[in-house]
Structure 1
Amino acid sequence: MDFLGTIINYILNLGAPVFVPFIMLIAGLIVRMRFRDGASAAITLGVAFVGMSMLIGFMVGAIGSAAQTMMERTGIELSIVDGGWTTMANVSWAWPYAFLMFPLQVGINIIMLVLKKTDTFNADLWNVWGKIFTAFIVVAVATPILGSITSLILAFAVATLQIILELNSGDISQNRIEKLTGIPGVTCTHRMLFFSAVFYPFDLLLRKIPVLNKPMDAATLRSRIGIFAENHVIGFLLGVTFGVIAGYDVATILMLGVQAATALMLFPMISKLFMQALSPISEAISDYMNKRFAGRKLFVGLDWPFMGGSSEIWFTVIVAIPFTLIWAVILPGNKILPFAGIINVALVVPAYILTKGNTLRMVILSIIGVPFFLFVGTQFAPIITDLGLATKAIDIPANQLISNSSIDAPIFTYASSFIWQSIQGYFVPLLFALYWCVGYFFYARELRMETKHDAQNENK
C-alpha cells in the first residue's frame, strides 16, 4: 500500500502542467487519436497551464505587493498569514490516507459513467487534493467529537459526496460554459463552482434591477465606452489606481500600470492555447462515444483555466481586490491578511458562469462574496496550523497561525467539515449547509432548464 501511495503521489506531484496533459494524452489514445496529434495537443495544454500560472504569479507579485502596502499604510495588524492554495495542498498530501483518494475518484467516475448518472469524464485528477483537504479537515474536526474510526469513515463519505457533486456540477454547467467559452465538449469539474449556489439568491435579486439585467459583457462595454473597455487600457488604469493608493512614486505607479496592462492583455492569448489543445481531444472523444453509445455525449471535465480568456473574469478579479482589503479591515472577527489569495479566481469564476459574463453583476456578487472567504479562512486557521505542525508539511514559526483567504468553495467546505459541531450545540455550519443545499438545488434546476431549452431550439 505504501508503494502504491508513493507512486500515485509521485505522479500527482508532477503538477497540473504535466499531469493533466498526460491524462488527456492517454484519453486521446484510448479513443484512437493519432499519437502525434494527441501529443501535440497535450504539450500545448501543458504550455497553456504554465502560461496561465506564470501570469497569475506575475499579478500576485505586482498587485499583491501593492495590496499589502495598502494594508501596511492603515497600521492594522491581521495576525493570520495567508499561505495560499499551495499551503493547503502541501498539508493535504501529507495526510497518511491521501493516496486512497485518487482511486476513489476514478472509481466513482467510472461507475457513474457506466450507470449513466453522469456524462462527464473528470480529467482534472490533479485537483484530487481538494477532496483530500476536505476529508483531512473532517477528521480533524470530528475526531474529538465522534472518535477516530467514525471520523475517518465520515471523511471519506464527505469526499465521496464532493466527487459526485463535482461531476454533477460539470454536467449541469457544461452547456452554459460552452456558450461562454466556445469550446465544445468541455466543462469544469472544479469545486470552486459550488460557490455559485451561495451567489444564486443574491443574483436573483440583482436580476430584478433593470440596469443589471441587460447584456454587460466585455464586448458590450467596448461598444459603449470604446477604448476604455480594452483589456490593456483597463489593466493600466487599475494598476495606476493601485499604485496611487499604495503611495508609490510616479515611476513605480506607471510600471505597475504597465504590468497590470500586460497581464490583462496576455490572459486571452493564453486562453486560446487551451482552445487549441482541447478542441481536437474533445472532438476525438465525442466521435468515439457517438460510434459506441448512440445518442450520448461525453464531456471532459477540467480545471478552470480554460475559461481564463474571459476579460470579464480578470476585470472583476482586480476590481475585487480593494473591496477584499476593506472587508479584511471591517469584518468582525476577521484575522486573516489577504495576500497569497488576493487574486481570488475562486470568488469570480462562479459569478462569471452564474451571470453569463455580466460584468456589473459579477462585481457586485464578488463584493458580497468576499466576507464568506475571509470568515472561512479565519475559522480554518487553527486547524490548518495544527495539521501543518503535526504533518511537518510546512514550516510554521512559533505562535503563528496560517490559512488561506481564497479557499475553494468556502461554504461547502466549511459546512461539510464543521457540521459535526452541531452535536455540541454549534449550529452555524448546519445553517450554512442548509443554505447551500437550497441554493444549489434551484441553481441546478435553472441550468437544466436552460440546457433543455437550448437543445429544443437546436432540434427545430
Structure 2
Amino acid sequence: MNDILGQLKGVVDALGATVLLPILIFVIALVLGAKPGRAFRAGLTIGVAFVGINLVLGLMLTTLGQVAQAIVTNTGMHRDIVDVGWPSAAAIAFGSSVGLWVIPIGIIVNVALLFSGLTRTLNVDVWNFWHFAFVGSLITAATGSLGYGLIAAALMAALSLVLADWTAKGVQRFYGVPGVSVPHLASAQIVPVAIGLNWLMDRIPGVRDIRIDTETVQRRLGVFGEPIVMGLAIGLVLGLAAYAGSGDWGAVLTRSLQTGVNLAAVMLLLPRMVKILMEGLIPVSEAARSFVQKRAGDREIHVGLDSAILIGHPAAIASSLILVPVAILLSLILPGNRIILFADLAVIPFVVAMAAPIVNGNVFRMVVIGTVTLILGFYVGMALSPLMTATAQASGFAIPPEASAITSVVDGFLYIPYLVIEAAEGLGLLGLGLVLLAILALLFAYRAAPRAFEKLAGADDPAEASSVSDRAAPSVAARR
C-alpha cells in the first residue's frame, strides 16, 4: 500500500500543480457532462492561467525577497528561529509519514461530504493538500502516533471545505469569481479574526470613518490612483527604505525604480491572469450547475481553487505591500520574539486576501487585521517551531546552520494548526474528538443560518445596502 501511495505522491510531485490541475479539470468537466472539446479547452486554459499567475507571483516574490533581505541586513537583525518559507514547509509536510496518505484522505473526505450534501465545494486544488499534511505531521511529532496525525489531516480537510462554503459568496461577490470557493487553510484562517476586528472597528469613533480603498483613491487621484501607478509608488517607497542604507544613491535610485516597475507589473498583470482563469472555469461551472440541478434541484457546487486567484486584486496587493515593512518592524519590537522573517514575507497577500470581502476592500482595515494576525503569528510560530524542526529533521530536511529552529508564515504562524495540535498533544484522541465537534458545530450553525454567516464573511456589499437605504428614505418621508 505504501508503494502505491508513494507512486501517487511521486506523480503529483512530478507533474506539479500547473499540469495536474488541467488534467483534473478536464476529467471533472467530462464527468459533469461537458463536451470533450470544451472540457479540454477549459482545463488547458486554467493550466495556462496558473502558469501566468505563477510567473507574476514569482516576480513579486523575488522583488519582495530582495527588499526584505536588504531591510534585514540594514537593521542588523539576528534571531535563532529562521523563516524557511512555505516551499520548505510543503516539502516537509509531503515528506512526512502523513504526507504519503494525505492525497487519498483529502479526496475521500471531499467526496464523502460533497455527496452527503453537507458541503458544496469540489476541491480540485490537490497540491495544497500539503496544508492538511502539515498539521498531521506536527501532531505525529507531538504525540508519536501516525493515527492521530492522519485523523488530524482528515479533520483539516473537512474544516477547509466548511470554511470554503462559508466564504464562497463573499469571495465571489468581491473578487468577481462566480462558481469558485477557496478551501485554502492559510487564507481562510483569517476570516474569524477579520470578522471580530471589523466589528470592533465599526464601534470605535474616528476609526470607523477611515475608508481607504483603491476605487476611492483612483476616483480622487485619477491616473495617479490607478493600480499600476500605486504599484510603482509603493515599490519606490519600499525600494528607498530597503536600499538607502548602501549610500550609493545611483544604485539606490536604480534598484528602487526596478522595484517600483516590477510591482507595477504585478498590479497590472495578476488581475489579467485571473480573467484568463475565469474564462476556463466558466464551462466547468456551467456543467456543474447543470449536473447538480438534474440531481439535486437548486443545490450549488463551488469549484475549490488556490487563493492565488484572489491576490491580484489591488486591495490585496496594496495592503500586503504595506504589511511587509510592518512585519519586519514587528520582528524587531515584539517582546520575546526569536523569529527572523525572510522567505515568507512575500506570501502575506495569501494571508490577508480573505479579509478583503469582509471589510469591502478597505486597505486601512486590512492592514490593521493583517498586523494583529502577524502579531499572533509570531507567538504561534515560536510555540510550533520545535515541532516543525523535529518534523523537518525526520523528513530529512536540512536545518540552516545558523538556526536553532525553523518556522514559516505558511503554515507555522497559523492559530488553527496550533489549537488542533494543542488539543491532540494535551488530550490525545479526546482532543481530536473535540476538534471534530467544533467543526460539526460550525458546519451545522452555518447550514442553519447560511445568509447570516455569509453576510459576516462579506457576501453583501455595504455600499449597495447603504444606497438602497438612502433611496428608500425619501419614499418613507413622503408617505408621512
Give the shorter-chain TM-score range. Answer: 0.7 to 0.9
Q: Which residue in 2 is equivalent to 1:167?
A: 161
CA contact (8 A) 1:347 1:370 kept: no
For residues 303 and 37 of structure 1, the distance between their equivalents in structure 2, rounded to whole angstroms, comes to: 22
Q: Shift of the alpha carbon at 1:87? A: 0.5
Work out whether 1:222 is the aligned partner of 2:218. yes
- 1:54-133 counterparts in 2 under 5 A? 54-133=55-134
Partner SS state of residue 335, structure 2: coil
CA offset digits 1:289-346 (Å, max 9, x no partner): 1122222221111111222331111111101111001101111222222111112123
Partner SS state of residue 340, structure 2: coil
Work out whether 1:199 is the aligned partner of 2:194. yes
Q: Which residue in 2 is equivalent to 1:4?
A: 4
CA offset digits 1:144-167 (Å, max 9, x no partner): xxxxxxx33332232222122111
Q: Give ranges in structure 2 of 5+ residues lacking alignment.
A: 245-251, 429-433, 466-480
Distance 1:452 1:95, change over 3 A: closer
- TM-score when normalising by structure 2: 0.84
Partner SS state of residue 295, structure 1: coil
Q: Shift of the alpha carbon at 1:214? A: 7.8
CA contact (8 A) 1:76 1:329 kept: yes
For residues 282 and 33 of structure 1, the distance between their equivalents in structure 2, rounded to whole angstroms, comes to: 10
Code of the residue aligned with 1:195 in structure 2: it is: I
Code of the residue aligned with 2:222 in structure 1: it is: G
Q: Shift of the alpha carbon at 1:399? A: 5.5
Code of the residue aligned with 2:134 in structure 1: it is: F
Q: Which residue in 2 is equivalent to 1:427?
A: none
CA contact (8 A) 1:22 1:42 kept: yes
For residues 94 and 422 of structure 1, the distance between their equivalents in structure 2, rounded to whole angstroms, comes to: 25
- 1:213-362 counterparts in 2 under 5 A? 216-248=212-244, 249-343=252-346, 344-362=348-366
Distance 1:309 1:452, change over 3 A: closer
Partner SS state of residue 402, structure 1: strand
Code of the residue aligned with 1:100 in structure 2: it is: W
Q: Which residue in 1 is equivalent to 2:178?
A: 184
For residues 402 and 218 of structure 2, the distance between their equivalents in structure 1, rounded to whole angstroms, comes to: 52
Distance 1:451 1:334, change over 3 A: closer
For residues 208 and 73 of structure 2, the distance between their equivalents in structure 1, rounded to whole angstroms, comes to: 35
Q: Give ranges in structure 1 of 5+ residues lacking alignment.
A: 144-150, 425-429
Distance 1:401 1:441, change over 3 A: farther
Partner SS state of residue 98, structure 1: coil
For residues 399 and 367 of structure 2, the distance between their equivalents in structure 1, rounded to whole angstroms, comes to: 36
Distance 1:367 1:398, change over 3 A: closer
Moved more, 213-222 or 69-78: 213-222
CA RMSD in angstroms, aligned pairs only: 2.9
For residues 421 and 136 of structure 1, the distance between their equivalents in structure 2, rounded to whole angstroms, comes to: 12
Distance 1:28 1:246, change over 3 A: same
- TM-score when normalising by structure 1: 0.87
For residues 272 and 208 of structure 1, the distance between their equivalents in structure 2, rounded to whole angstroms, comes to: 37
For residues 83 and 441 of structure 1, the distance between their equivalents in structure 2, rounded to whole angstroms, comes to: 38
For residues 276 and 373 of structure 2, the distance between their equivalents in structure 1, rounded to whole angstroms, comes to: 30
Partner SS state of residue 158, structure 1: helix
Q: Which residue in 1 is equivalent to 2:414?
A: 410
For residues 390 and 112 of structure 1, the distance between their equivalents in structure 2, rounded to whole angstroms, comes to: 33
For residues 373 and 324 of structure 1, the distance between their equivalents in structure 2, rounded to whole angstroms, comes to: 10
Q: How many pairs does the alignment contain? A: 439
CA offset digits 1:409-455 (Å, max 9, x no partner): 7000111113345469xxxxx9xx99xx99x979987424579997x
Distance 1:211 1:279, change over 3 A: farther
CA contact (8 A) 2:170 2:357 kept: yes
